[in-house]
Structure 1
Amino acid sequence: MAKMEKGFVIKAAALLMLIQILSRLLGYARNMALSNLFGQSYETDAFFAAFSIPDFIYNILIGGAITAAFIPVFSSYLAKDRPEQAWRTGSVFSSWVLLLMAVLLMLSFMFTEPLMRVLTQFSPEQMALPVALARITMVQALFMALSALATGVLQSHQHFTWPAIGVLLYNVFILVFGILLIRPIEALWPGYGVASFSVGVVIGSFATLAVQIPTLVKKGFHYRFSLDTRNEGFRRMIRLILPVMIGLSVSQINMLVTQYLATGLESGYFTAMKNAYSLMQLPVGVFAASIAVAIFPTMTAQAAAGDYPELKRSMSMGLRTSFYVTVPAAVGMIVLREPIVRLLFEFSEDFTAADTVIVAQALLYYCIGLAAYGAILILLRGFYAIQNTLMPLLISFAAIALNVVLSLALVGPLGHRGLALAYSLAGIGQCLLLIYFLRRKIGPMGLKGLSRTGLQLLFACSAMALAVWGAAELSAAVLSIAGKLGQLLQVILSIIVGIAVYFFVTGWMHMEEFTLARNLLKRRLHRKRAAASRQ
């Protein structure tokens, strides 16, 4: 990878990581508020189950389309200095997406109750609340589709800031309106107070779109409604997107199977799994996703130019950087699972110590597959960059089948822990298959270096785990962890010790990833000093 491109990727990834960290923190604040206001209960189970219908529609229509089809084709026209063709193609694609979205949402609104009966194991007496919540949140899917299209255009222009800020605002509005509207809604419709968070979801999704519009206009936004199926670029997009749509449909069905099994457990277990999953997704969403999003336009350009050696170097750098962050994150979260959950969620009588244990159990098994799911985000973009969407589709079929089989086998003996473990094992299998078949497509990707990184990480993370465990036990003995201050100090001190040990060991082993992070930090500090001296 050229130095300029490498520097851009690093800067873009760093920016996205910062905004994603803030967004995830707000997401945890949202879940924390939800769990402490309503507990891990039927109400919160209903909220998360209701979200599955519009989420399914959004994901099959556009969830993977932007990355797999829109950005590669739109970017290719921009790279060839054909912006008019890019906008024409984008208009046709957007028109079809919005038309299909409107039709599916109307049908879902009409048949919400039968759909909810199929997707959950709620009793007939419990069905009214999730049906009402689902109908409210359906509007969100339309706004998110428009937002995703705007994001695709901006990222094709190498602009990442406002799309990421939009995600940040999404969680802000859910949290704010979720809290502010509880009492008014509960007063008008007793038993429906949790609907305040559904209203917040709709307002937040609109904000995600609105914040991108000014920059979109500056980039020369030009949309004209068109259903011209003869458009060359649109046909290319459809060829790329159809396998992804099928794969995402199966993937969403897989998640719905998990939802169905989880809602058959005691009330609140489905919410506990959602809370644990959101914690596991922090390193994936903040670090791995940021790296994948930042590196994807570069990989697409390298593939379009036929520069496969540089493409493979980009892939290798992305994977090694992702593992450097996600592996220690998984180990740290496993060691600190109960202190973290207790700190973040146990605030009221509605969320008890028993609830903490339930979430921590699920978190343990989710973390087993954390690094694999981070790598999957980068590997998928490797296939999308070379405009191959069929192989990831076939691999997703295999992973989903494995997840369903394991879920059915493990939910009996392990309950919610079995569902989390099945998800992790399926992710590891998918990651290995993606590496194997991508290597067959583009040739060796420096896996020897990846293996060396893996061995170094094993040693460094073992030392880190011992240090974190020792720090947590020592702080628990010295501090009073009955209160939030003691819990906060226990978690923060343990994390600081873990990070210090991890960086020391990886630096001592002269890992390339450590050197990259250190040099980036030095450059940032140097720029700040230079700016201060000029002032």
Structure 2
Amino acid sequence: MFSRVLGLVREQVFAILFGAGYAYDSFVVAFRIPNLLRDLFGEGALSAAFVSVFSDYNTNKSRQETMMLASNTLCFFGVSISILVLVGMFLADLIVSLLAPDFALVPGKTELTSLLTIIMMPFLLFVSLAAVVMGILNTRGIFFLPALSSSFFNAGSIITGTSLAIILPRYGYPAIIGMAIGTLVGGILQLAVQIPALRKAGFQWYPRISFHDTGLHRILKLMVPATIGLSATQINIFINTNFASSCAEGSVSWLNYAFRLVQLPIGLFGVAISIAALPVLASMASQKKYHEMNDAFISSLTMVFCLTIPATIGLIFLAEPIIRIIFEHGAFTSLDTQATAIALSLYAAGLFAYASNKVIVPVFYAINASRYPVIGSFLTIGANIIIILFTIETFQHRAIALSTSLTMMLNFVFLMTVLYHVNGGFSFARLFSSITKIAVASGAMLLLLYGLSLALPISDEHNLLSQILLLAITIISGAALYLMILWQLKLPEINSLINQVKNKLLPGN
């Protein structure tokens, strides 16, 4: 949570210093290149594959064999990713021209993006190794420091980047280069902060690479399907970036700011519920308790709907004041606020599908049917291209946000339909009953928000503190009414959640 807050602060720094346009467009595209590769090969496929094999070694092999696997993995991927980084730096111009071809229409924009790409490309190496180190530490029962490492990335990139962004223009360099260097420093810190804990965990480094290591072979084999599964998402990001670069200047920035905000509830609700549900679902599946597993799945999905539907309403209804309060400072203008708010509203429309898919996909893995999420992901690529092609001329950057939400909804429908047939069905009646209660509470909340918007409008005529206060009153009032109605309607999941909170706050009762 702290890392997400720092991540939002980092975006605020960008908004204040650069707003939305030439410089930040270039940064977003440049950072997207190592970030895509990180998600594809590093923190995504590599991390999952390594943890699986390393956990097995940690349980069934000697300490020396386990540490040799860890060392060999770090050495192998350290060298491999270094080569990939060098290739990326060498081909930066070509990659940028493929990812954002229309940047060439703006003098100097492609060149700046290429330079930023070269600066930030080594970030891929450090963050990938950090993911492996995190896997080692987590397997050894050390969780706090690895979880905190991403906060060091954000803190390092904010402090270093902001400092250099102020200093570099005095020497004739663009300020955005400072933020790129700050990002690289943040990546180094994310790895470096975990090294002391790695030593305490008994890690021994053997400076060699063994290509005959069976553990390494297993990791590479596991990475193949994981990489294929993740590639669909990365292809969609590539497509969206390509189209966004063809829209008005600032479009890449507006979409990025908006999506960053949508990621907060996705992370808080979808990912959190998914992490909590996965071991339970996997355990039930392994014991062939499919009826209980379906009940647990419906309960998890209900909780996702319970949290994301009001969040969607809030983000859509309050998009403009939220963007204005968070970002409209410094170089970020009121026009940027309007454009970003529209994108936020369109992204938010698909929030329930985003978060739900995070819960649905683990069920497929639990029942050994992982091919279906991969199929669904690739279906979204075709749908995404078609929707954007038919809408981008009219809606510009809004078409990309709209398409993203629609394709997530399509994937949700596909996964739910397939899961129903593959898993022998589940209680739609229970799910429908829960959604009906959530809809009633959400409708009442929406009416309250509308009434408050008339009685207490959050206008830019107010000072910042007044706007924050009015927004807080609106959100708290809406949330309180929503929870109260669900409590009265006796939604089991919300009642359970409230009881858990009460028990923690009032343990004696």
- The alignment's TM-score, normalised by the length of structure 1, stands at 0.86
Q: d(CA) in 2 for partners of 1:151 and 1:302?
A: 28
Q: 1:166 aligns with which of 108, 133, 149?
A: 149
Q: d(CA) in 2 for partners of 1:222 and 1:396?
A: 40
Structure 1 residues 447 and 31 mapped into 2: Cα distance closer, same or farther (>3 Å)? same
Q: d(CA) in 1 for partners of 2:460 and 2:407?
A: 40
Does 2:86 correspond to 1:106? yes
CA shift for structure 1 position 174: 1.9
Q: What residue in structure 1 maps to residue 12 of structure 2?
A: 32
Map residues 457-496 of structure 1 onto 2, 5 A cutoff: 457-476=438-457, 481-496=461-476
Give CA deviations for 1:116-136 in whole Å, capped at 9, x if unaligned. 111112125322211111111
Q: What residue in structure 1 maps to residue 391 of structure 2?
A: 410
Q: 1:258 aligns with which of 221, 240, 265?
A: 240
Letter in 1 for 2:223: I
Q: What residue in structure 1 maps to residue 272 of structure 2?
A: 290
Residue aligned with 2:152, SS:
helix
Q: What residue in structure 2 maps to residue 434 of structure 1?
A: 415
Give CA deviations for 1:454-513 in whole Å, capped at 9, x if unaligned. 222111111111112222332128x88431012111211110111101110110111122
Map residues 301-450 of structure 1 onto 2, 5 A cutoff: 303=285, 308=290, 311-348=293-330, 350-386=331-367, 388-450=369-431
Letter in 1 for 2:302: R
Q: d(CA) in 2 for partners of 1:309 and 1:86?
A: 38
Q: d(CA) in 2 for partners of 1:430 and 1:454?
A: 19
Q: d(CA) in 2 for partners of 1:434 and 1:155?
A: 31
Q: What residue in structure 2 maps to residue 178 of structure 1?
A: 161
Does 2:249 correspond to 1:275? no
Q: Are 2:42 and 2:124, in contact at CA under 8 Å, matched by a contact in 1? A: no
Q: What residue in structure 1 maps to residue 228 of structure 2?
A: 246
Does 2:188 correspond to 1:206? yes
Residue aligned with 1:64, SS:
helix
CA shift for structure 1 position 286: 2.2
Q: Are 1:303 and 1:385, in contact at CA under 8 Å, matched by a contact in 2? A: yes
CA shift for structure 1 position 391: 2.6
Q: Which moved more, 1:488-497 or 1:251-260?
A: 251-260
Letter in 1 for 2:501: L
Q: d(CA) in 2 for partners of 1:309 and 1:231?
A: 41
Q: d(CA) in 1 for partners of 2:206 and 2:427?
A: 45
Q: What residue in structure 2 maps to residue 129 of structure 1?
A: 112
Q: d(CA) in 1 for partners of 2:65 and 2:430?
A: 41
Structure 1 residues 212 and 505 mapped into 2: Cα distance closer, same or farther (>3 Å)? farther
CA shift for structure 1 position 401: 1.6
Structure 1 residues 516 and 160 mapped into 2: Cα distance closer, same or farther (>3 Å)? farther
Q: d(CA) in 1 for partners of 2:13 and 2:220?
A: 41
| Identity score, percent | 29
Letter in 1 for 2:392: V
CA shift for structure 1 position 414: 0.9
Q: d(CA) in 2 for partners of 1:309 and 1:232?
A: 38
Q: Which moved more, 1:229-238 or 1:104-113?
A: 229-238
Q: Are 1:241 and 1:389, in contact at CA under 8 Å, matched by a contact in 2? A: no
CA shift for structure 1 position 232: 5.2
Structure 1 residues 344 and 100 mapped into 2: Cα distance closer, same or farther (>3 Å)? same
Q: Are 1:67 and 1:384, in contact at CA under 8 Å, matched by a contact in 2? A: no
Letter in 2 for 1:25: V
Does 2:493 correspond to 1:513? yes
Does 2:36 correspond to 1:56? yes
Letter in 1 for 2:506: H
Q: Which moved more, 1:308-317 or 1:405-414?
A: 308-317
Structure 1 residues 301 and 235 mapped into 2: Cα distance closer, same or farther (>3 Å)? farther
CA RMSD of aligned residues (A): 2.8
- The alignment's TM-score, normalised by the length of structure 2, stands at 0.90
Residue aligned with 2:108, SS:
helix
CA shift for structure 1 position 374: 1.1
CA shift for structure 1 position 379: 2.3
Q: Are 1:299 and 1:382, in contact at CA under 8 Å, matched by a contact in 2? A: yes
Q: What residue in structure 2 maps to residue 526 of structure 1?
A: 506
Q: 1:148 aligns with which of 113, 125, 131?
A: 131
Residue aligned with 2:113, SS:
helix
Q: d(CA) in 2 for partners of 1:449 and 1:76?
A: 39
Q: d(CA) in 1 for partners of 2:263 and 2:396?
A: 21
Q: Which moved more, 1:31-40 or 1:312-321?
A: 312-321
CA shift for structure 1 position 387: 5.2
Q: 2:437 aligns with which of 430, 433, 456?
A: 456
Q: After the TM superposition, list the runs of 4 or more consecutive aligned residues in structure 1 that deviate by more than 6 angstroms.
A: 79-85
Q: d(CA) in 2 for partners of 1:461 and 1:197?
A: 41
Structure 1 residues 185 and 288 mapped into 2: Cα distance closer, same or farther (>3 Å)? same
Q: d(CA) in 2 for partners of 1:148 and 1:304?
A: 28
Give CA deviations for 1:142-165 in whole Å, capped at 9, x if unaligned. 111012122333444565433332
